[in-house]
Amino acid sequence: MSEIIIHSGERFEQVYLNEPGLDLHFVQEAGSTLKIHVLNIPDGTSGDRDIEISNNIVVEQIGEGCETEIYALAHLQGEAHVTTETHVKHAVGGGKSNQLLKFVLEDQARGRFIGDLKIAPDAQKVEAHQTNRNLLLSETAEMRTQPQLEIYADDVQATHGASTGQLDESALFYMQQRGIDKEKARQLLVGAFMKEVIEAIGEQHSAVREQLLNAIDGVVE
Amino acid sequence: MSKLLEIKDLHASIGGKEILKGVNLTINEGEVHAIMGPNGAGKSTLSAVLTGNPAYEVTRGKVYLKGQNLLAMEPEIRARAGVFLSFQYPVEIPGVSMTNFMRTAINAKREYEGKEPLSPREFLALMREKKKMLELPDKLNNRSVNEGFSGGEKKKNEIFQMAMLEPCLSILDETDSGLDIDALRIVAEGVNRLKTPENASIVITHYQRLLDYIVPDFVHVLADGKIVKTGDKSLALELEEKGYEGLSL
């Protein structure tokens, strides 16, 4: 495990693109900002179809007024399997955390999200949000979501939501009615689902953000 | 004047329930046909079946578009061959921009016709021209398809797409529902400007109101899955006055 300390008032943003697994431990001092993007979006060539990846992200806010943003996206085919665990601990008050994790699963791919959120007894005025949205593109794909919320402070705002669904059939038909074939329509809808995560990448990493967005749009300018 | 669409003894059902029970209709190039009828008569089913909506099953009958077997074509092929549906409830597609959606659609049609795709410059010029016609805002391009649009904007957006794709057969399914009078005028003017001697429209409506703006050559009354009466535009006025009950069938 690598431990990264974000010192008081500092800002750290990182994009982890197709890493073979992550084990990261962040410690945030007062007033620091952490923003990470964990992207497991292999291009679907043969070697990627049976990958097994485990991401473990631990964040501890030990000083007041910290902000944490965690974005994760996995688009998996074949028998690929990705588990992403987040452990976010608000040890002190006045902090914010926001998590958005999305999985797009095709074929027999499997996804797992374990979202562990702790707010310590004295950590008042914390705002913590955790959202997990998943798209299953086949009958045999599988998603498991395990949120674990342990909230010991009473004056906090904490929300979590999880949903797993299929592509919107009415949107597919609408696009077909305009002459777009079903496969392309699926690509557009999947791309739209994925973009929300990619678009969260900040200016510091705009080159990779634009490259990924263009790949999704299949841009030929 | 040549035949554009021929519907022969069309039967269709949804979830095992028969909705269309033998529809016959021939539409020639240059014609506007209104289809009126009470709720549940099968008006929207007809538009769904003509466009290939997979929720419906055709159990009997034939449909030909310019002599080709329409029912054998996938929905996207029907669209590329020139069948356009202005949806009663246009679908919101978050995250797919109007530009990306429209360019994909128009180039799919051009490819089908053996034409080169439009360059980004040509495409954007066409968007600008057609947006102006429907009085749609400039910022439309970057907005997601129908997302957060008002009822009127959604219907204008349907006619905008129709203007972009230049179909030979347009089906307007309750395009007037939910429109205020200004939006109705803009939508109807758009439809009228798109009329040519080579294309035709089916206007499905509940009310005579839309037909003050889009004047039909024929009015058909659809009731219980069949066309039970056909007349000229005066039939719509008669319906407005007497209701479907008062119609001597």
Residue B239: pLDDT over 90: no
**CA dist., res. A21 & res. A24, Å (int):** 10
Q: How crowded is residue A18: how many other Cβ atoms within 10 Å of its Cβ?
A: 12
Strands lying side by side in the sheet with A11-17: A11-17, A33-40, A67-76, A96-105, A127-136, A157-165
Report residue B217 CA to chain centroid gap: 16
Extract the tokens encoding B212.
Answer: 């003050």
pLDDT > 90? residue B209:
no
Predicted pLDDT of residue A47: 66
Q: Tell me, what's the pLDDT at A196?
A: 93
Instruction: Give the distance, in angstroms, between the CA of residue B59 and the centroid of all CA atoms in the same chain.
Output: 23
Rounded average pLDDT over B226-245:
89
CB contact under 8 A, A196 and B87: no
CB neighbours of residue A138 within 10 Å: 13
Give the DSSP letter string of B28-79: ETT-EEEEE--TTSSHHHHHHHHHT-TT-EEEEEEEEETTEEGGGS-HHHHH
Q: Does B144 touch chain A (CB under 8 A)?
A: yes
Q: Does residue A200 belong to any structural domain of this protein?
A: no
Which pLDDT score is estimated for A90?
Answer: 98
| Distance of residue B204 Cα from the nearest chain A Cα, in angstroms | 17
- Low-confidence winner among A16-25, A43-52, A132-141, A196-205 (lowest mean pLDDT): A43-52
pLDDT digits (tens, 9 = 90+) for B92-147: 999 999 999 999 999 999 999 999 999 999 999 999 999 998 888 888 888 999 99
Query: What does the CA dihedral B99, B103, B105, B109 come to, rounded to 10 degrees?
Result: 160
Answer whether A18's CB lies under 8 Å from A185's CB. no
Give a yes or no: residue A221 inside a domain: no
Q: Name the band, by pLDDT with cuts 50, 70 and 90, for residue A220.
A: very low
Structure tokens at B42: 């099968």
pLDDT on residue A221: 35
Q: Is residue A220 in some structural domain?
A: no
Q: Which chain B residues are Cβ-neighbours of A104 within 8 angstroms?
A: none
pLDDT at position A190 over 50: yes
User: Does some domain include residue A193?
Assistant: no
Residue B71: per-residue pLDDT: 98
Q: Which of B44, B50, B76 to mutate: most A Cβ within 10 Å?
A: B76
- Residue B208 is predicted with a pLDDT of 85
Residue A155 burial (CB count, 10 A): 9
C-alpha to C-alpha distance for A44 and B48, rounded to whole angstroms: 36
Contacts of B79 in chain A (CB under 8 A): 176-179
pLDDT of residue A44: 66
Q: Is B2 helix (H, G, I), strand (E, B) or coil?
A: coil
Residues B102-133 as b/e (b if ≥16 CB within 10 A, e otherwise) read bbbbbbbbeeeeeeeebeeeebeebbeebbeb
Residue B77 sits at φ, ψ, to 5 deg, of: -75, -40
Mean pLDDT of chain A: 94
Chain B residues closer than 8 Å to A191 by CB: 95-96
DSSP at B88 = S
Per-residue model confidence (pLDDT) at position B137: 85
Residues 6+ apart with CB under 8 A from B211: B34, B203, B205, B219, B233, B236
Shortest alpha-carbon distance between residue A161 and chain B (Å): 19
A74 within domain boundaries? yes
Give A93's contacts (C-beta < 8 A, 6+ positions apart).
Answer: A64, A122, A123, A124, A125, A126, A153
Which residue's entry shows tokens 């009078």? B181
Q: What pLDDT sits at residue B6?
A: 98
Tell me what the mean pLDDT of segment A109-130 comes to. Answer: 97
**pLDDT at residue A46 in the model:** 61
Note whether B43 and B204 are within 8 A (CB): yes
Per-residue pLDDT tens for A98-116? 999 999 999 999 999 999 9
| B87 reaches A (C-beta below 8 A) | yes
Burial class (CB in 10 A: 0-12, 13-18, 19+), A46: exposed
Residue B232 CA to residue B236 CA, distance in Å, equals: 8
Q: What is the set of domains in chain B, with CATH numbers?
A: 3-242 (3.40.50.300)
Structural domains in chain A (count): 1
> Do residues A92 and A119 touch, judged by C-beta distance below 8 A?
no
Residues of chain A contacting residue B85, judged by C-beta atoms under 8 Å apart: 177
Nearest-angstrom CA–CA distance, A12 and A208: 17
Q: Which residues in chain B are closer than 8 Å to A190, comparing Cβ atoms? A: none
For B73-96, what is the mean pLDDT?
96
pLDDT score of B141 = 86
Mean pLDDT for all residues in chain B: 93
A169-176 and A182-198 helices cross at what angle (nearest 10)? Answer: 120
Secondary structure E strands in chain B: 3-14, 17-28, 32-36, 57-65, 68-69, 83-86, 93-97, 144-145, 169-173, 200-204, 218-223, 226-231
User: Is A199 part of any domain?
Assistant: no
* A180/B100 Cβ within 8 A: no
pLDDT of amino acid B248:
57
User: Closest Cα partner for A56 from A76, A30, A36?
Assistant: A36
CB contact under 8 A, B51 and A171: no
A204 in a domain, yes or no?
A: no
Set of chain A residues whose Cβ sits within 8 Å of the Cβ of B161 = 178
pLDDT in tens, A62-107: 999 999 999 999 999 999 999 999 999 999 999 999 999 999 999 9
User: In the sheet where B169-173 sits, what is the strand order?
Assistant: B83-86, B169-173, B200-204, B32-36, B218-223, B226-231
What is the rounded average pLDDT of the residues B12-25? 96
Shortest CB distance from A177 goes to which of B79, B104, B106? B79
Span A14-33, mean pLDDT? Answer: 97
Residue A156 has pLDDT above 90, yes or no: yes
Q: What is the pLDDT of residue A38?
A: 98
**pLDDT of the residue at A45:** 66
Look at residue A92 and tell me if it is in a domain. yes
B95 in contact with A, Cβ within 8 Å = yes
- pLDDT value at A50 more than 80: yes
Distance CA(B78)–CA(B116), nearest Å, equals 20
What is the C-alpha separation between B245 and B175, in angstroms, rounded?
24
The terminus-to-terminus CA distance of chain B in angstroms comes to 30
Find, among B208, B196, B219, B205, the residue nearest to B172 by Cα. B205
The gap from C-alpha B191 to its chain's centroid, in whole angstroms, comes to 10
* Residue ranges of chain A whose CB lies within 8 Å of a chain B CB: 168-171, 173-182, 184, 188-189, 191-193, 195-196, 217, 221
Instruction: Name the phi and psi angles at B79, rounded to 5.
Output: -65, -45
Q: How far apart are CA B90 and CA A84, in angstroms?
A: 37
pLDDT more than 70, % of chain B? 98
Q: Which domain holds residue A11?
A: 2-167
ipTM higher than threshold 0.90: yes
Based on the number of CB atoms within 10 Å of its own CB, is B39 exposed (0-12), middle (13-18) or buried (19 or more)?
exposed
